[in-house]
Structure 1
Amino acid sequence: MSNEPEPKKPKVKLTPSRSWLRATSGAESGKETVQWLDKVTERMAFPGEHEEAFFTRRRDLKLGVGLDESGNLVQAVETPKK
């Protein structure tokens, strides 16, 4: 029983979630989804030219871990300071 006014309740506008919108939208059919996934999978299967250059440079600089010429996993070895 105080003299202070009761705080106003914020107005909240409820909107559907994006996942619900995507699930109920006709914009993306099952066939389109499969085609998109196929395209992404195909593109991700092989490294791009920038990735190749990046890792070639790292190998030349003897940085990190990777594969040797035979495909065996190798670890970086700290070279003695001269």
Structure 2
Amino acid sequence: MEAEAAKYIGAGLATLGMIGSALGVGLIFSGFLQGATRNPSAAPGQFTNLILGAALAEALGIFAFVIGLLCLFA
């Protein structure tokens, strides 16, 4: 009984990394929009960096989710 409760607590703690991922993506897009409104001519050059940063941040969130699932079902 205690082992199962510990498993659920561990899975919940492992998925807290998704909060950081959501905050990271929000900050990335916020910074891009602030920079694009200040200097619109530089925005197209930074778009690839925006997509790369968002993809890496989302990958960390997905990794945290997978670790949480592994805690539950492995």
Q: Which has the higher contact order (CA 8 A, sep 6+)?
A: 2
More helix by share: 2
Q: Same fold (TM over 0.5)?
A: no
Q: State the TM-score, normalized to the length of structure 2.
A: 0.33
Q: State the TM-score, normalized to the length of structure 1.
A: 0.30
More strand by share: 1
